[in-house]
Amino acid sequence: MAEHVAQLCRDHRIHVHARQSYGGWASKKRRVICVKPVKTQRTYIVALHEIGHILGAGRSGTRLEQEAAAWAFVCEVSVVPLSPATYGRMLQYLQSYLVRASRRKRMIIPPPAHWFWDVYRHILACSEAE
């Protein structure tokens, strides 16, 4: 997993800043991600997610679209089968953006037929898998 992240960053000239705490951020402009060193599925998916913000589709959408697209990128490119618990964590992240969106008027919640919900349902189903 760590090697996969290192490889993606080398191939796409993305600089990695290491941080001590969980969470992360990406700067598309500077092609930098700041994440915890990859050692577990949790740190792996966060690193892929931040890379997804730089490389993935849907980068120019709303905040919620960008977040969902970056998680869809994780599902697409992961080189290991992700555990239901890991999908559960992705679901928590998606839900936290929805909660934030519902509190802020300038964040738009996608309509029912939007692909955001396809990503959401996919991650939900995987989190419930045996």
Cα of 67 vs its chain's centroid, Å = 6
x/- map, 68-107, Zn ion, by CB under 5 A: --x-------------------------------------
- We find the least distance from the C-beta atom of residue 63 to Zn ion, in angstroms, to be 9
Residue numbers 30-69 binding Zn ion by CB under 5 A:
67
What number of chain residues touch Zn ion (CB under 5 A)? Answer: 2
Q: 38-73 burial, b if ≥16 CB within 10 A, otherwise e?
A: beebebbbbbbbbbbbbbbebeebbebbbbbbbbbb
Q: How far apart are CA 33 and CA 20, in angstroms?
A: 13
53 vs 126, beta carbon nearer Zn ion:
53
65 vs 67, beta carbon nearer Zn ion:
67
Residues forming contacts to Zn ion in the complex (CB under 5 A) are 67, 70
